[in-house]
Amino acid sequence: MDQHPELEIARFLKRLQWAAIVLAVLSVVWLLAPVLTPFVIAALLGWLGDPLVDRLERSGRSREVAVTLVFGLMVLLVVLALLLLVPMIERQVVTLVESWPRAQEWFLLRALPWVEQRLGIELGSWLDPQRLIGLVREHWQEAGGIASAFFGYVSRSGFALLTWGVNLVLIPFLTFYFLRDWDKLVVRVAALVPRDYIGTVSHLARESNDVLGAFLRGQFLVMLAQGVFYAVFMTAVGLRLGLLIGMIAGLISFVPYLGATVGLTLGIIAAFVQPDGGLTLALLVVVVFTVGQLLESYVLTPRIVGDRIGLHPVAIIFAIMAGGQLFGFLGMLVALPVAAVGNVMLRFANERYSESTLYAGDRPPIVLDSFVDKSVIVEPRDEPRK
């Protein structure tokens, strides 16, 4: 029986306080998610650039000069990417607009009848404009409610678009300040940690920093390599929208299997819609994505990312979906970093559990005399020795 119940009560109240603090922080994040998005993006960029700033400082440069050089390099990379990609994307969008009538014709005259024949249901009548107008007239009250909700959504979307524009302007300024003051922020946060836990928190912070940095940099390189591979080889086999589809597949490949699935679907549709396309081009697109997935699974991810995050693909998908459901775009943005840090915390908790009396029991094992093999361990018994 515990001889100090007041200690147990104090420990319980302390844990209750920490739980209340965590819930309060999560509530504030949920309420301020749209406002926090540019700050989180800038903080991630500042955290990624801080090691290079520290390296330049160790070479003899001042903090201000090092921050200016790293920030200038970031801006230069963004400008070069825009100068290279914007004209290519513009040409791809023009090609997409020109192909749209043929895509609509292919869908209505080929794809839709094929689906109806295989499934035995009639879908074309539901797409008839006269039928749709009749349904609207029949249910005009509900349609009016839907229309008002739609236009309200459009107006809110316009405001959201304006907010996105403001956020894009804020991100460079916030990134510069995060780069400049990153070390000061780390010191201030460390000063808030209770002194009894500073050693454990420092160890977990270093491990989380190593895991998260290696994973994010590696995942970015894998996404870039996949996007370039898909874009180059789909264009090489003759797909006119290969560049645009390859970029889309590369950008969303941080979700396991989603980039390849979406890219393959869009590539096959584009192959059939293209005037000089058809089954042969669609098969070539399938070959490109098959080779790309094999390259990603057996070469890129093992060599660049490895097992640094230690999460199963299903866990990654769940983390992204849960983050989006709880906190919107901000949640999707921080889902992988939070999952990586959470995995470090779970490993630490498992180590503590393995060393606890709950797992090992209250009684230590008894080791036999030195003439007996030291690997042999005998557990104590309740009854006395005879």
Residue-wise pLDDT tens digits, 9-22: 777 777 788 788 88
The residues near 232 (Cβ < 8 Å, ≥ 6 apart) are 242, 246
In a domain, 244, yes or no: yes
Residue 374 is predicted with a pLDDT of: 46
Same domain flag for 318 and 175: no
In a domain, 369, yes or no: no
Please compute the mean of the pLDDT values over residues 176-198 and round it to a whole number. 86
What one-character-per-residue DSSP string does 12-26 give?
Answer: HHHHHHHHHHHHHHH
Same domain flag for 146 and 210: no
**Where is the domain boundary, 192, 212, 236?**
192
Same domain flag for 152 and 218: no
Report the distance separating Cα 258 and Cα 239, nearest Å: 21
Write the burial class of residue 361 (CB in 10 Å: 0-12 exposed, 13-18 middle, 19+ buried): exposed
Same domain flag for 120 and 215: no
Of the two residues 208 and 174, the one the predictor is more confident about is: 174
In a domain, 282, yes or no: yes
Same domain flag for 207 and 223: yes
Same domain flag for 88 and 187: yes
Of the two residues 182 and 160, the one the predictor is more confident about is: 182
Cα–Cα nearest to 270, from 262, 86, 258: 262
Q: What is the DSSP letter of 365?
A: P
Residue 375 is predicted with a pLDDT of: 47
DSSP alpha helix (H) spans, the chain: 5-31, 33-58, 63-106, 112-119, 129-138, 140-192, 198-236, 242-251, 258-273, 279-295, 313-355, 357-360
**Where is the domain boundary, 158, 192, 226?**
192
Three-class DSSP category at 333: helix
Same domain flag for 77 and 219: no
Beta bridge partners of 367: 377
Number of domains in the chain: 2
CB 33 within 8 A of CB 328: yes
**Where is the domain boundary, 192, 211, 245?**
192
Same domain flag for 62 and 185: yes
In a domain, 29, yes or no: no
Length of the chain, in residues: 386
Same domain flag for 182 and 248: no
Contacts by 256-259, CB closer than 8 A, 24 or more apart: 256/313, 256/316, 256/317, 257/313, 258/317, 259/223, 259/226
In a domain, 15, yes or no: no
Q: What are the angstrom distances between the C-alpha of 128 and each of 106, 112, 124, 141, 142? A: 16, 13, 7, 21, 20
Residue 275 is predicted with a pLDDT of: 78
Domain that holds residue 174: 37-192
In a domain, 114, yes or no: yes
pLDDT in tens, 58-117: 888 888 899 999 999 999 988 888 888 778 778 877 877 777 777 777 777 777 677 777
CB 343 within 8 A of CB 310: yes
Q: Which residue type is seen at 274?
A: Q
In a domain, 377, yes or no: no
Report the distance separating Cα 282 and Cα 175, nearest Å: 43
Same domain flag for 149 and 223: no
What one-character-per-residue DSSP string does 130-142 give?
Answer: HHHHHHHHHTHHH
In a domain, 315, yes or no: yes
Same domain flag for 54 and 89: yes
Same domain flag for 249 and 336: yes
Dihedral, CA atoms, 198, 202, 204, 206, nearest 10 degrees?
A: 180
Report the distance separating Cα 270 and Cα 267, nearest Å: 5
Q: Is the pLDDT of residue 379 over 50?
A: no
Task: Name the pTM for this structure.
Answer: 0.64
CB 274 within 8 A of CB 281: yes
Cα–Cα nearest to 51, from 252, 217, 198, 249: 217
Of the two residues 252 and 356, the one the predictor is more confident about is: 252
